Amino acid sequence: MSFFALISCTLAGNAQQEQTHIKQWSLKECLAYAQQHNITLNNLRLAKQSADQNLISAKASVLPDLNASASQNATHYGTAQGDAGKSINLNGSAGLNSSVTLFNGGTLRADIRQSQLAAEMADLDVSEAGNDLYLQIIQAYTNIMLDKETIVYAQDLVQTSQAQTEQMDQQYKAGAAAKKDLIQLQAQLASDQYTLTSAKNAERQDKITLKQLLQLPVDSAFDIVKADTTFALAAIPSLHEVIQDAINKRPEIKNSLLNIENSKLDLKKAKAGYLPVISLNGGIGTNYNNGTNIGTFRQFDNNFYQQIGITATIPLFSRKVNQTNVAKSNIAIKQAELDLLNTKTILSQTVEKAYINTQNAYSQYDASAEQLNYNKEAYRIAGEELRVGSANTVEYIQQKNLYIQALQAYTQAKYSAMLSLNVFNFYKGDFLENQQ
């Protein structure tokens, strides 16, 4: 065996081995992988962690603070100063100070609750983005399933065309068929091969789309599991039931509800601007000065002090700041309530559209299945007639094209119905539990 032949065999063997090790992904695996590795989702999770830290800080704001201070100063005079008669004076001080807010109209409690709401809303943002990503993955995965089935029937058409072209070629060489008939079959074979190539290209492109959604490396081998291509029309859930489930479960609705509560807390804080702020403060400290004849440690002891006090800040005139804040907070509450109503309306319309799409897809699937059955039988009969010579090539190709169109319509309708039902069930919340 030559060197180049050996290299070719080795490369072919490696390629075949690599092909056998391509991971085949189920839809459930795709969804789970995207949930863990999608960059957008992970960024939102980091935002959730940041919101959690803000909550910790808000809870700690009700605690007293504690600060230590210390100072040391040196002063030079032209003549001796003080009882000690020194021209360089040294003095220092040290102390501890603490303060705590006793009353501020409930602002601190409102801040804590708003921080809790922010953390919950950040978590819901992750869920919202995850839902959007899931729908994109479902669409891309279904497209690949459609591509694979299209490739299967396109390969079957190519094989049939090749066999018929070879048969017609033999008849032409034997003088039993016209060259025109042979050329027509050769043209049909080229058309079928083009259809097969287009289907393979579509599969490659849709795989790239899904890999990008999963954010897999560019050079990673990727395929989906061999899916069951049979499809039975399942019962469509009640529209009213799905709308209610979506309103009760969807994160965008929960986010809007939390936003209303957050706006009401802003109103509470705005009203607190009319109330006094009461704080307690205290401290201990001491100091010394070397300008006296008293020793440093004795001065520390003699000058040691403790102090405690209460401070009340009473708003008398805020140049209508408080009044404006209250008015704006009331407006924000009404806006949040309208946002909730709008979110419910959009969600209901989206679910209704998914419901209608599912109904339409089911109707198209039934009609295309019946159309395919008739065209398949007519195509079979035309093939038999062409084989025995009782039909011409033009009639056969016309019937074959009708069959191809019916097969394409049926395949498209089948996966459209499958996708529509999955999307509709997704809004109901039953989709993920049913995936393998």
- How many structural domains compose the chain? 2
**pTM of the predicted model as reported, rounded to 2 decimal places:** 0.82
Mean pLDDT computed over 107-136: 96
Domain match, 111 and 226 both: yes
DSSP-assigned states of every residue in 279-347: EEEEEEEEEEETTSSS-HHHHHHHT-EEEEEEEEE--S--TTHHHHHHHHHHHHHHHHHHHHHHHHHHH
- Would you say 264 and 334 are in contact if contact means Cβ atoms under 8 Å apart? no
Work out the percent of the chain whose per-residue pLDDT is above 90.
Answer: 65
**What are the tens digits of pLDDT across the range 183-210?**
988 998 999 999 999 999 999 999 999 9
In a domain, 4, yes or no: no
Mean pLDDT computed over 391-402: 83
Residue position matching structure tokens 């070879």: 166
Write the CATH number for 122.
1.20.1600.10
Mean pLDDT computed over 354-369: 94
Amino acid 291: pLDDT:
66
Amino acid 331: pLDDT:
98
280: Cβ contacts below 8 Å, ≥ 6 apart? 64, 99, 100, 102, 308, 309, 310, 311
Mean pLDDT of the residues in the chain: 88
In a domain, 10, yes or no: no
Cβ–Cβ contacts within 10 Å for residue 288, how many?
Answer: 22
Domain match, 169 and 258 both: yes
pLDDT for 113 beyond 90 = yes
Amino acid 73: pLDDT:
87
Amino acid 1: pLDDT:
45
Range of lowest pLDDT (189-198, 229-238, 301-310, 380-389): 229-238
Domain match, 340 and 290 both: no
pLDDT for 89 beyond 80 = no
Spatial distance between the Cα atoms of 238 and 249, rounded to a whole number of angstroms: 16
pLDDT for 18 beyond 50 = no
Amino acid 430: pLDDT:
67
Q: Please identify, among 250, 284, 314, the residue that sits at the C-terminal boundary of a domain.
A: 314
Of 215 and 435, the structure prediction assigns the larger pLDDT to 215
- Host domain of residue 308: 65-103+276-314
Domain match, 142 and 192 both: yes
Mean pLDDT computed over 84-90: 66
Domain match, 47 and 183 both: yes
Mean pLDDT computed over 382-407: 84
In this prediction, residue 61 has a pLDDT band, given cuts at 50, 70 and 90, of very high
In this prediction, residue 10 has a pLDDT band, given cuts at 50, 70 and 90, of very low
Mean pLDDT computed over 258-268: 97
Mean pLDDT computed over 66-91: 75
Domain match, 236 and 363 both: yes
Q: Please identify, among 292, 314, 336, the residue that sits at the C-terminal boundary of a domain.
A: 314
Amino acid 12: pLDDT:
47
Mean pLDDT computed over 63-92: 77
pLDDT for 211 beyond 50 = yes
Domain match, 154 and 296 both: no
Write the CATH number for 82.
2.20.200.10
- Would you say 324 and 270 are in contact if contact means Cβ atoms under 8 Å apart? no
Domain match, 210 and 297 both: no
Q: Please identify, among 291, 314, 337, the residue that sits at the C-terminal boundary of a domain.
A: 314
